[in-house]
Amino acid sequence: MGRMRFLIWPPDRIKSEIAQQAYLVGLDRIPWPCRVSWNQGELVMERNVSDSANLYIPWPVEGVGMLMVGTATLMEREEPYHLPLELARGKLGQVRNQLGEWEALGLVVPEELQRLISEGTRQLAEAALAPPGSEESTTAAERALRLAVEAAERLACCYADQALAVRRRSSPKFSTWLAIDLGPTFLDETTGTQLVQTFSAASVPICWHDVETTEGTYSWDAPDQLIAWSRKNRLPVMVGPLLQMDRRSLPDWIYLCEDDMEAFAAFAEEFVQAAVERYRGQVDLWIAAGRINTPAILSLSEEEKVQLTARMIQCIHSLDPQTPVVICIDQPWGEYLVHRELDFPPLHVADSLLRAQLGLRGLMLEMNLGYQPGGTFSRDLLEISRHLDHWAMLGAPLYISFCAPSNDQPDPLAHYANRRPPPGASPRTQQLWISRLVPLLLAKPYIQGIVWNHLRDFIPHDYPHGGLFDVRRSPKPALRTLAALRQAFLK
């Protein structure tokens, strides 16, 4: 059994529920299932293998808030590690390594960034030379971590600015899609006008639960209208997920097939076939299945969910071989693996379906930023950039589906009300996420589409306060920022 111990001083620096969200990863970046214990400032991580690992944990960073940060690779040992010191060492090491890689590719590094790294390194040295676990060491380590996070953000923004400038030399405006998920209901004229001015593509969800409330009887009114509206406004249309693998998206009557995989698959295939036959020729991208890696639906095993996804891809491809088909992977860091013994991490699910030569033409990664549980932890831009580059090694085009909250209060219209926004979430923080993250995504040529996956807070929706229109039907500042980015960079 592998066991690693970490000391935190003062002991109330984080709460027990935060400590329970810590996890260990190896070189493949896949979290190990762990048993986490927390007692008076000591964090103990236990797993069934003995190997070196990186620890990741939500950590309060001064001036930033709660952020998922990680250590460098650490060996197992009996002596406990001083966690603030190791988090600072890990983040500074990540920044310096990435800086070296990008400098080799021609990145011009501003003096302010070099100063941050130098000062962070000096603070790290003070923390390492002070008595382990002392207040002096902890204070210096916290300063080093804050500087390292600031340097990581500056480095990622510097990369995005220069990479965008290089891309614009060959094409002033990019063909990357900036899409909005139109949601399950009709659009009013005012909202529609604002969306056409902001987005270059539209995503139309088709929820099996809403379309086929009674077996064999379909109601296509909402998707008919939304697809027709998109085409009238000359917006490329992506449709789906046709099979969203979460409990809310499945029709109630399908639970009669709880223990019959073949019957469930037959009904799902019949629904997907009906959707493709109805909208074939009006769609520019099919999303075959979504959240295939995370929730448990019915009694399907992991292998059965992968087989079911493959069957849906084949069904779509056989009926409409010319239109690209993608699948959607939720929580691409795989944090949920910490507390679930699964055989297929998200990257392996995607890789197995790509290798099966089913006609899959890309991957969509769903990142609902800051929500817990069930969302993607808040991370700095550099960590996001590195993880997306890791996914790009599969060689498939990527589409990014994301949202971020604009409020940290309960949301009575959210289907997943237990997936709480981070403290301090506001319209301003939502706008900041967009202004920083979207340029980074546009800087990466392998990303072919960006989807904001939540439109309106005033109708029932998945994640709390993630829409671009608030409960009073007023546009949030984030919408204006997206419009400015579209105007600056996209066709």
Q: Domain locations in the chain? A: 2-167, 171-489
Smallest Cα–Cα separation from 23: which of 72, 69, 56? 56
Distance of CA 39 to the CA centre of its chain: 31
Amino acid at 85: L
Give pLDDT, residue 153: 97
User: What pLDDT does residue 295 have?
Assistant: 67
pTM to 2 decimals?
A: 0.95
pLDDT by 10s per residue, the chain, length 491:
689 999 988 888 888 888 889 999 998 899 998 899 988 889 999 988 889 999 999 999 998 999 999 999 999 998 999 999 999 999 999 999 999 999 999 999 999 999 999 999 999 999 999 998 888 999 999 999 999 999 999 999 999 999 999 999 999 999 999 999 999 999 999 999 999 999 999 999 999 999 999 999 999 999 999 999 999 999 999 999 999 988 889 999 998 887 788 999 999 999 999 999 999 999 999 999 999 987 667 778 888 899 999 999 999 999 999 999 999 999 999 988 887 777 789 999 999 999 999 999 999 999 999 999 889 999 999 999 999 999 999 999 999 999 999 999 999 999 988 889 999 999 999 999 999 999 999 999 999 999 999 999 999 999 999 999 999 999 999 999 999 999 999 98
Distances from the Cα of 217 to the Cαs of 210, 211, 276, 279, 401, in angstroms? 11, 8, 16, 17, 30
User: What value does the CA radius of gyration of the chain take, rounded to a whole number of Å?
Assistant: 23
Q: Which candidate, 34, 23, 8, places its Cα nearest to that of 57?
A: 23
End-to-end alpha-carbon separation of the chain, Å? 55
Q: Which residues on neighbouring strands pair with residue 55, listed in sequence order?
A: 24
Cα distance between residue 253 and residue 199, in whole Å: 37
Topology classification of domain 171-489: TIM Barrel (3.20.20)
Whole-angstrom Cα distance, residue 325 to residue 356?
14
Tokens of 328: 């959607």
Q: What is the DSSP letter of 187?
A: P
- Helices marked H in 393-442: 427-442
Alpha carbons 70 and 51: distance in angstroms, whole number: 17
